[in-house]
A and B are shown apart, each in its own frame.
Chain A
Amino acid sequence: MEIIKALSIGALFGIGLYQLLRRNVIRSAIGLVIISNAVNLFLLSIGAYDGVVEAYAKAVGQRSDALPQALILTAIVISLGGFAFVLALLYVIAARYRTGDSDEVKGLSH
């Protein structure tokens, strides 16, 4: 399972990277989301305990590790905020440079 997980996370990261490097800025934005998904999965997977039940006080059995979960919970929301900001920037750029092509975004005086 761990090998599959590692391969999947690697694949997600690679795909995200590829998207990020494209000229179409919307695809770059998509790449950013995929990368943050990959990173969140990675963080979730390195918890100390492989749980079989939820991390609730009353649950019986081996609970999943609550610490990384709490960390990525806020991370997910924060990355949404950051992502929205990136989109706003893209929007401003598109309006200023009249393009959706990152290669045409050159110089500052427009």
Chain B
Amino acid sequence: MNDALVISLIACAVGASVAGVFTASALGHRIPTRVMGWLLAIAPAIVFVALLAQSPAVLAGQTLSWSVVWIPSLGLHFSLLLDGLSLLFALLVSGIGALVVVYAGYYFAPKHGDEKPGGENGGPQSRTTPHSRFSNTDARFFLYVLLFMTSMLGLVLAGDVITLFVFWEGTSITSFLLIAYKTKDEEARSGAFKALFVTGGGGIALLAGLLFASAISGSTDLATILRSGDALRNDAWYPVMLGLIAFGAFTKSVQAPFHFWLPKAMTAPTPASAYLHSATMVKAGIYLMARLYPALGNTPMWFWLLIVTGGATMLLGAISGLRQSDLKSMLAYSTVSQLGVLMMLIGKESPSAFKALAIGVLAHALYKGALFMIAGIVDHGTGVRDLRRLGHLWRVMPWTFVVCSIAALSMAGLPPLFGFLAKETLLAAELEDVLPRLIRIVLPGITVLTGALMLAQAASLTLDAFVTKPGTGWPASRLGSDDTRDMPNLHAHEAPAGMLLGPAILAGLSLVIGVLQPETIASLLASTATAAYGAKVKVSLELFHGVNLPLILSGIAIALGVVLFTLRSPIRGIPSVPALNMNLIYDGVLRGLDRAAEVVTRTQGGRIRIYLAVILTTLFALVIVFGELWRVFDGVALPDLSRRLFDEPLSVQTALRAFSLLLAVAASFVSIIIRRDLLAIIALGSSGLAVAVVIALEPSPDVALVQAVVDVLTLVVLVLALSRLPRAQRKRAEGLNGAGAQTRNVLLAVAGGAMVTVLCLYAFASRPRTSLVTPYYEQNAKPLTGAADIVGAIVVDFRGFDTMIEITVFSMAGIGVFSLLRYAMKKRETAGLPTEGEIEPDLAALLQRPLPPTITGIDGVRTSPFIHALAYIALPLSFVLAIVQTIYGHDQPGDGFTAGVTLSLGVGFWYVVFGYDETRSRLRFLRPGLLIGAGILTVMAGSIAPVFLGGGFFSPFDFGAALGLPLPKGFYVSTSFLFEVAICLVVLGAAIFIIDTLGHPERDLE
């Protein structure tokens, strides 16, 4: 119910969108980037203030929450939660966010008469920007950063694990975008992909783990999950769940061995590195583990997992860091080390560990954020980030030097800086009695070594860059050529005050907290630790507690650090151990994926038949397995079937049916074995006619008629198409079928046939013996529609709307065929041959014209006069048949479909007999487009007209009777009649499209 939480998120979103708006708007180009930075910092600043306003309640121990229903059907809520732990992180995110945005404004603003630093800007377009205006690439940066901030705030404020996950992924994606900010840079792209690959993979694991937790605790609500700690810890799936969640957290928080993406992420602009890759995002894993500690922590597995991983990461990062010559890489490795420290602290179940955790998070964010920004300033001022080439900078950049020194002192863990306290509390936590003896010896040892290495690094980056001459502290083996070493300092300049503001505030806070030890910070940290630990934790910021073991160890660390710093040159000269390199493993994994993809795609040979075979096999397997076809006849069905088979009286009809079924099968089989395609087509025609007989014996005369005429038309269309496909190639294709392929096809066909047989038997045995629908149609066909033919009544009346759409589909098929092959027509036009519309439709002249002596049929075959005579008779006859069928179809067999197809057959006959050109010129009045249009308009008019005549849409209406027309008996000019006419017209039109297009002599193609 806390609005401030929502306001904070909204404010960020608004800020992000403001940047986005400026991407495109011209206004953005008139505002200097520096001003833009200040303006955009308002959004995070508001968030920061809003959070501060809430802090008294939180510090008093309250937990604020707010929730809204997100996907009710899944029981999902979008909920936010603000307690001590969230508060610290949210303050860091928004506070450092504001400073980074201001800093970035200066970072991206080009210096006078100079290019932007180190090519950090995105593309060539920013280089063409003449002066320090806010450019599109700058806007891109601000957009990403503000989007990231929104995600990160959402992550730390999430009160629901799904909400948390969504924001978690948001941070991964914005991080990817920022690392790949220099999109043209190969290294930046691969680094970005690496980061996304690792953190994205972790994200998936995290989701799985969170779902486990939600399933076990019964809710995705974070508070509920935190309360069901006992159930979670005792669940059998606990190790898996913890493993998955820890994997997500480890990849995000760069724990070894997943740390390798962070140094590569340093291609991001430095403000982003300071913000995402040190102060905030990489701490998301720390936050997550600290957050889930009450639910999942306090088990041996948790302890060892986090202690070992954290300890190893801490040492590894510290050792690798000292060897880095790149400023940002060195900082990145020290970040890795520090994150290891924090992860290790969560592993321990004592108040002091969580106290050290809270202090460590804040201390690290303050000094590391500052140091990264300093690195950016150095880069900005000199154009160089390489420690080996930097030196003497304190003369030109005195203020930067001061700020850097303060931050570095905190990093080194020297009093009176805040970092010192962090190290003290860390050591104190490690020396506690609750820990196993081994741990109590090993961990402080590692910590002292790490602390020493940190000090050496902090000293190196301050002294080597700002005080000593370039090249100091590096063995000769790792120095490049000498000539460029002093170059950068020639152009070096002090950073503008605004740019120094961010690091100065952060470094200053390190000092202020260390020296003044303000009570508010202490209570903030106490509340953080309490929220994470689940019980009261006291935090005191006092630096000295007398001479005790931690202080002694700290002293040892400082002494050792000084030694290491002095010896840094020889240490850096030691060749690096080619140990387990995660980058190599990563490359190997990627290569493996590529290879796997290659193997998988190799199965796709491009042969369509194989695909079809695979698809069919899979389909059959699915039907058989999930349909449990072997169990279909369990129990009742079989005896019933056999009884029906043997008890049935052997009538003439039955014998005929069986005979025609056999004929259909036999004819189809002939179509397989026969060699010539034309004969195969004719066999197919016979098979179809036999099917028509079966249908007629059903008895179902209407369907039988349609089947018969459609079968013949199919034949015609196939023959037309056959003449278009090169015969030689067809024959060759036939000969190429190998024995293996034959066997496979036969097996597939037999399997498919057997499966369908079983399905049929099952369907026949289990079909309902009474229908709910049919009796209604039977009783109402005549009274409601005036049609004695029930099938016809269903088609044009009861299911008229359906039929209307079906004829539209059919016309689409015709138009589709026409448009697919239309280019053939176009070629014809360019060839100068007559096309539609060029010949005068002088019908009389045409009819009087004597037949040319060389009339050839389709495919250039000469046809006999006898066939011509048949064709002359057939066409008018088909017209008569069609008219009779449309008029009396509602009482007799036949309907609009039959009529249309019969007409098409007459026309098709002409095409076959007289050839394309002759038929086109003689039957000019048959315009397919016109026919289809007229048909569809008729059916629409016929269905809408009753609405105005007192009926409803598609209700039957007898126009003939209404007008009192003298019509012969049995002929009704009704809506049904209009529908039949329409069907006839549409079918005819589409069929002519098909015949005409396929029958078109495509000479160019041969």
Interface residues of A (CB under 8 A from B): 1-27, 29-30, 33-34, 37-38, 40-42, 44-49, 51-58, 63-67, 69-70, 72-74, 76-78, 80-85, 87-92, 94-95, 98-107
Question: Nearest 3 A-B pairs (CB), nearest first?
Answer: A14-B753, A10-B757, A81-B813
Q: How far is the CA of A1 from the CA of B607 in the complex (A)?
A: 41
Please measure, in the bound complex, the distance between the C-alpha atom of A40 and the C-alpha atom of B782, giving whole angstroms. Answer: 27
Flag if B897 contacts A78 (CB, 8 Å).
no
Flag whether B969 is at the interface (Cβ < 8 A): no
Within the complex, the shortest CB–CB distance from A25 to chain B, in Å, comes to 7
B606: chain A residues at CB < 8 Å are 106-107
Q: Is the CB of B789 within 8 A of A12?
A: no
Residue in B669, B749, B760, B781 whose beta carbon sits within 8 Å of that of A9 in the complex: B760
Q: Could you tell me if B669 and A15 are in contact, using CB atoms closer than 8 angstroms?
A: yes
Q: Chain B nearest CB: distance from A75 CB in Å?
A: 9
| Minimal beta-carbon separation of B666 from chain A (angstroms) | 9
Q: Which of A45, A58, A101 is B736 in contact with, Cβ under 8 Å?
A: A101
Are B814 and A72 within 8 A (Cβ)? no
- Complex Cα distance, B674 from A15, in Å, reads 13
* Majority DSSP secondary structure for residues of B touching A: helix
CB distance from A66 to the nearest CB of B (A): 4
A99→B731 CA distance, assembly (Å): 10
* CB pair A5 B721 closer than 8 Å: no
Chain A residues within an 8 Å CB radius of B838: none
Known contacts A24-B733, A88-B997, A77 near B810 by CB under 8 Å: yes
Chain A residues whose C-beta falls within 8 Å of the C-beta of B791 in the assembled complex: 55, 66, 69-70, 73
B972-1006 contacts to A, CB under 8 A, are: 987, 990, 994, 997-998, 1002, 1005
Within 8 Å of chain A (Cβ to Cβ): is B547?
Answer: no
Task: Please give the distance in Å from A94's CB to the nearest CB on chain B.
Answer: 5
What is the chain B residue whose CB lies nearest that of A4? Answer: B658
Given known pairs A73-B702, A73-B795, the reply for A34 and B668 (CB within 8 Å) is yes
The complex places the Cα of A52 from the Cα of B732 at a distance, in Å, of 50
Which of A5, A88, A102 has the largest number of chain B CB atoms within 10 A?
A: A88
**What does the 1/0 interface line of B715-727 toward A look like (CB < 8 Å)?**
0011001101111
B407 to chain A, nearest CB (A): 59
Contact B672 A2 (CB under 8 A): no
Question: Can you list 29 contacts pairing A with B, beta carbon distance less than 8 Å?
Answer: A1-B644, A5-B764, A6-B757, A8-B665, A11-B669, A14-B753, A15-B753, A17-B748, A17-B749, A18-B746, A18-B748, A18-B749, A41-B694, A46-B764, A46-B767, A55-B790, A57-B778, A66-B790, A74-B803, A77-B710, A80-B901, A84-B717, A85-B813, A88-B816, A91-B721, A94-B1005, A100-B733, A101-B729, A103-B609
Specify which of A6, A23, A73, A92 is in contact with B820 (CB 8 Å cutoff): A92
Determine if A72 and B703 form an interchain contact, defined as CB atoms under 8 angstroms apart.
yes
> Which chain B residue has the least Cβ–Cβ distance from A75?
B806
> What residue in chain B is nearest A10 (Cβ atoms)?
B757
A-B pair number, CB within 8 angstroms: 330
Within 8 Å by CB of B687, from A23, A37, A94, lies A37
Q: In the complex, A71 Cα to B987 Cα: how many Å? A: 17
User: Is B760 touching A10 in the complex (CB atoms < 8 A)?
Assistant: yes
Chain B residues, CB < 8 A from A8: 661-662, 664-665
A100 to chain B: which residues have CB within 8 Å?
Answer: 725-727, 729-730, 733
Known: A24-B730, A91-B725. A2 touches B774 (CB 8 A): no
Partner of B700, one of A11, A64, A98: A64
- Shortest B360–chain A CB gap in Å is 59
Tally of B interface residues using CB under 8 Å: 118
Give bound CA distance, A73 to B793, whole Å: 12
Contact A2 B756 (CB under 8 A): no
Q: Which of A38, A52, A65 contacts B771 (CB 8 A)?
A: A65
* Other A-B pairs beyond A8-B665, A22-B745, 6, CB < 8 Å: A14-B754, A15-B749, A21-B612, A48-B771, A73-B895, A88-B994
| Residue from the list A42, A72, A102 in contact with B760, Cβ < 8 A | A42
Q: How far is the CA of A33 from the CA of B774 in the complex (A)?
A: 29
Closest residue of chain A to B681 (Cβ to Cβ) is A30
Mark out the residues of chain B between 686 and 716 whose CB falls within 8 Å of any chain A CB in the assembled complex.
Answer: 687-688, 691, 694-695, 698-703, 706-707, 710, 713-714
Taking a contact as CB atoms under 8 Å apart, the answer to whether B698 and A51 are in contact is: yes
Secondary structure class of chain A's binding surface, majority of residues: helix
Is there an interface contact between A27 and B790, defined as CB atoms closer than 8 Å? no
Residues of B with C-beta under 8 A to A27? 677, 680, 734
Interface presence of B616 (CB below 8 A): yes
Tell me the smallest distance from the CB of A6 to a CB of chain B, in Å: 4
Name A11's closest neighbour in chain B (CB-CB): B665
Q: Is the CB of A82 within 8 A of B813?
A: yes
Check B897–A74 contact: CB distance below 8 A: yes
Smallest beta-carbon distance A14→chain B, Å: 2
User: Roughly how many angstroms separate A99 CA and B990 CA in the complex, as a whole number?
Assistant: 27
Hey, which chain B residues are within 8 Å of A67, CB to CB? 771, 773-774, 777, 794
- The interface bits of chain B over 884-898 (1 if a CB of A lies within 8 angstroms of the residue's CB, else 0) are 000000010101010
How far does the alpha carbon of A85 sit from the alpha carbon of B789 in the complex, in Å? 32
Name the B residues within 8 Å of A101 (CB-CB).
729-730, 732-733, 736
Q: Indicate if B284 sits at the interface (CB-CB under 8 A).
A: no
Is B761 a contact of A2 with CB atoms below 8 Å? Answer: yes
Q: Are B774 and A66 within 8 A (Cβ)?
A: yes
Cβ B644 vs Cβ A2 within 8 A: yes
With contact pairs A37-B691, A55-B700, A77-B897 given, residues A4 and B661 touching in the complex (Cβ less than 8 Å) = yes
B487 interfacial contact with A, CB 8 Å: no
Contact of B761 with A92 in the complex, beta carbons under 8 Å: no
The interface residues of chain A lying within 8 Å CB-to-CB of B566 are none
Given contacts A30-B680, A82-B813, contact A74 B795 (CB under 8 A): yes
Complex Cα distance A25/B773, Å? 42
Cα distance A40–B725 when bound, in Å?
Answer: 29
Is A17 touching B753 in the complex (CB atoms < 8 A)?
Answer: yes
Q: Please report the C-alpha to C-alpha distance between residue A87 and residue B616 in the assembled complex, in whole angstroms.
A: 22
Q: Min CB distance, B491 to chain A, in Å? A: 53
State whether A92 touches B821 (Cβ < 8 A).
Answer: yes
Contact A9 B733 (CB under 8 A): no
Compute how far the CA of A17 lies from the CA of B754 in the bound complex, rounded to whole angstroms: 12
Also in contact, A48 and B788, with CB within 8 A (given A15-B749, A66-B777, A66-B794): no
Contacts of A53 in B (CB 8 A): 699
B490 within 8 A of A: no
- With a cutoff of 8 Å between Cβ atoms, the chain B residues found around residue A57 in the complex are 778, 781-782, 787-790
A29 adjacent to B661 (CB under 8 Å) = no
Assess the B684–A102 pair: CB atoms within 8 A.
no
Which chain A residues border B748 with CB–CB below 8 Å? 17-18, 21
Contact B994 A46, beta carbon cutoff 8 Å: no
Do the beta carbons of A21 and B990 come within 8 Å of each other? no
Residues of A within 8 A of B642 (CB): 3
Residues B816 and A85 in contact, CB atoms below 8 Å apart: yes
**Bound-state Cα–Cα, A13 to B770, Å:** 28
Q: Which of A21, A78, A84 contacts B745 (CB 8 A)?
A: A21
> A77 to B707, alpha carbons, bound, how many Å?
8
Collect the chain B residues with CB atoms within 8 Å of residue A51's CB.
698-699
| Beta-carbon contact of A38 and B721 below 8 Å | no
Nearest Cβ on chain A to B817's Cβ, whole angstroms: 4
Task: Specify which chain B residues have a CB less than 8 angstroms from the CB of A4 in the assembled complex.
Answer: 645, 657-658, 661
CB pair B714 A83 closer than 8 Å: yes
Residue among A1, A78, A102 with the highest chain B CB neighbour number at 10 A: A1
- Residues B810 and A14 in contact, CB atoms below 8 Å apart: no
- Looking across the interface, which residue of chain B has its beta carbon closest to that of A3? B645
Chain A residues, CB < 8 A from B730: 24-26, 100-101
Q: A73 near B814 (CB under 8 angstroms)?
A: no
Interface residues of B in 167-222 (CB under 8 A from A): none
B862 at the interface (CB under 8 A from A): no
Chain A residue at minimal CB-CB distance from B990: A81
Query: Is there an interface contact between B672 and A18, defined as CB atoms closer than 8 Å?
Result: yes
Can you name the residue of chain A whose Cβ is closest to the Cβ of B732? A101
Q: In the complex, A52→B652 CA distance in Å? A: 12
Tell me the bound Cα distance from A106 to B176 in angstroms: 38
Q: Which of A65, A80, A94 contacts B710 (CB 8 A)?
A: A80
Q: Say yes or no: A103 contacts B699, CB within 8 Å.
A: no
In the complex, whether B641 has a CB less than 8 A from a CB of chain A is yes
